[in-house]
Chain A
């Protein structure tokens, strides 16, 4: 039996430590990992908890991230609670196995500490790895600070392992900005956190020897389409209600409120910035400054990235006059993902809002308040004239001549 870890009501944790403690409180059966910056301390801390008797279970050092996720798949199919962490190149190496995990409906929890993808080599944060995972069939939840990381880990276990869901989940945080920045985190006692997640209930586990089962069968054209349709149906229909239920119970337990789409100063907002991760908190500061000047500026942050909360985002934005979508990943030959997703969410709503796109912060480049003030000034121009007065896509905070398209 694992020892109780005495926690203060408020701890000073960075995002990695918050994730480690959430995994410890979940009493994960198997963590298989191949540590990579900036997610390394998540599994490093976890290994130390295990060595010191605070965790019952197994910690497997894999030979690669591909191997780490493959171990997680095996352990999850065998019938255990399973989690790991990765970033960037490691995430890219895991990608093939991510599709196996979700297709096999294995509720693995993956902490992704978002980091740029080489080349050029870079350990700092952007959202390239998070974007790479978005068609992989996983639930993806985004965090803006260490408190969110702690809370969303608890929520993710609970939702992923529900027998009506049985899908793996990623909890995303920004590399270094969240993962290595210590902040106040309100904690739950070990038993309260564990009970919030609930005891792990195996489903079709391979260790149930009286009911043998083959996992990951080959289907070819006969059944592949039906399996994928069923998985998509679960993501589209079942996941958001379960997340809402978890958010409601977390609020009852802690007073902390979360939404699929987080809205700040949006009640009467004419100008809206849509972004993810730590950028949301910077945008909130700028929006507060603009409110003092009488500008009706608001911020929309995506909390649940997959399944994409299409109706909630359209409700949040359809009454605005100008919207900036901020993508922290190079779209490499297209408009940014948030621009495309939000265009799709708004297209049939009759909104007259003018929508444009900013690429920013690649490889850990700061998104400054000055950058955001410039973006809101662009939005004001678009809102006043009722048509696009700025380029459709602009690069923000880039050195050299101004770069924009369309």
Chain B
């Protein structure tokens, strides 16, 4: 796309979300969609974050609150089971942690090692750490 000059893109300030023709896109999982280079899905915003949410599946009850509330569709869930967080598109807003009823999601500094965080995961609801 960066090689384009004024005369070599499609007219009309249009962008195509997918490469080529698509069919039944609603029932196609994101990882199976042919997203175009100009689609936001193809661009990482990971460096917007200073804090990140981490997921501990041992505490998760798969209520899907985080999936519903995430403003950037960065909660990956399949068949109503939590899978992961999409760290290419999560901006670290913390809404998922705020709505999580079980502390399966907690915010950590961006540089925190995930394995270390999971090994030291708080077992009970810790109001004091949440207020901090």
Interface residues of A (CB under 8 A from B): 103-106, 166, 203-204, 210-217, 219, 223, 225-227, 229-231, 233-234
Task: Give 23 A-B contacts (CB < 8 Å), ordered by A residue.
Answer: A104-B12, A104-B14, A105-B11, A166-B11, A203-B12, A204-B10, A204-B14, A211-B21, A212-B18, A213-B16, A213-B17, A214-B14, A214-B16, A214-B17, A216-B13, A226-B4, A226-B6, A226-B9, A229-B6, A230-B6, A230-B7, A230-B9, A233-B7
Q: Are B22 and A210 in contact (CB under 8 A)?
A: yes
A270→B18 CA distance, assembly (Å): 62
Which residue on B lies nearest to A232, using beta carbons? B6
Chain B residues lying within 8 Å of A204, measured Cβ to Cβ, are 10, 12, 14
Taken together as a complex, chains A and B put the C-alpha atoms of A233 and B11 apart, in Å, by 12
Output the least CB separation between A139 and chain B (Å): 15
Pairs A-B, 10 closest by C-beta atoms: A105-B12, A226-B6, A229-B6, A214-B15, A217-B15, A105-B11, A210-B21, A230-B6, A213-B14, A217-B13
Knowing A105-B11, A166-B11, A204-B10, the reply to whether A211 touches B16 (Cβ < 8 A) is yes
Q: Once the chains bind, are A230 and B16 in contact (CB under 8 Å)?
A: no
Among A210, A215, A227, contact of B23 (Cβ-Cβ < 8 Å): A210
Partner among B4, B15, B23 whose Cβ is within 8 Å of the Cβ of A213: B15
Are A212 and B12 touching (Cβ within 8 A)?
no
Cα–Cα distance between A211 and B10 once the two chains are bound (Å):
14
What CA separation (Å) do A219 and B13 show in the bound complex? 8
- Least Cβ–Cβ distance between B12 and chain A, in angstroms: 4
Residues of chain B whose beta carbon lies under 8 Å from any beta carbon of chain A: 4-7, 9-18, 21-23, 25
Distance in angstroms from B18 CB to nearest chain A CB is 6
From A103, A211, A225, A234, B13 is in contact (CB under 8 Å) with A103
Check B16 against A215 for contact (C-beta < 8 Å). no
Closest to A106 in B: B12
In the bound complex, CA of A215 to CA of B11 (Å):
10
Q: Which residue of A lies closest to B18 (CB)?
A: A212
A215 contacts B21, CB within 8 Å? no
- In the docked arrangement, what's the CA distance between A215 and B6, Å? 18
CB-CB nearest in chain A for B40: A214
Quick check: A226 and B11 within 8 Å, CB to CB? no
- Residues of A close to B5: CB separation below 8 A: 226
- Nearest neighbor of A231 in chain B, beta-carbon distance: B11
Q: Determine how close the nearest CB of chain B comes to the CB of A215; give it in whole angstroms.
A: 6
Contact A215 B13, CB 8 Å, known A226-B4, A230-B7: yes
CB closest residue in chain B, given A204: B14
Contact status B14-A212, CB under 8 Å: no
Closest to A218 in B: B13
- Complex: chain A residue closest to B21, CB-CB: A210
Can you name the residue of chain B whose Cβ is closest to the Cβ of A227? Answer: B13
Please pick, from B7, B13, B16, the residue contacting A212 in the complex, using a CB distance under 8 A.
Answer: B16
CA of A217 to CA of B21 in the docked complex: distance in angstroms?
Answer: 20
Q: How many angstroms from the CA of A225 to the CA of B14 in the assembled complex?
A: 15
A215 and B14 form a contact (CB under 8 A): yes
Q: Could you tell me the distance between the alpha carbons of A234 and B4 in the complex, rounded to whole angstroms? A: 17
User: Using Cβ atoms and an 8 Å threshold, which residues of chain B touch A217?
Assistant: 13-15
Expressed in whole angstroms, the Cα–Cα distance for A203 and B12 within the complex equals: 10
User: Does the CB pair A215–B18 fall under 8 Å?
Assistant: no
CB distance from A217 to the nearest CB of B (A): 5
> CB-CB < 8 A to B25: which residues of A?
212
- CA A265 – CA B22 in complex, angstroms? 61
B103 to chain A, nearest CB (A): 38
B6, B9, B17: most-surrounded residue (chain A CB, <10 A): B6
Q: How far is the CB of B9 from chain A (nearest CB, A)?
A: 7
Bound CA–CA A126/B53 (angstroms): 63
* Cα-based distance from A231 to B5 in the complex (angstroms): 13
> In the assembled complex, which residues on chain A have CB atoms less than 8 Å from the CB atom of B6?
225-227, 229-230, 233
Set of chain B residues within 8 Å of A212, measured between Cβ atoms: 16-18, 22, 25
Which one of B4, B13, B17, B22 has the greatest number of beta carbons of chain A within 10 Å? B13
Residues of A within 8 A of B10 (CB): 204
By the criterion CB–CB under 8 Å, are A166 and B9 in contact?
Answer: no
Q: Do residues A104 and B22 form an inter-chain contact, with CB atoms below 8 A?
A: no
Residues of A within 8 A of B14 (CB): 104, 204, 213-215, 217
Measured CA separation A216–B13 after assembly (Å): 5
**Across-interface contacts of A105 in B (CB, < 8 A):** 11-13
Residues of chain A within 8 A of B11, CB atoms compared: 105, 166, 230-231, 234
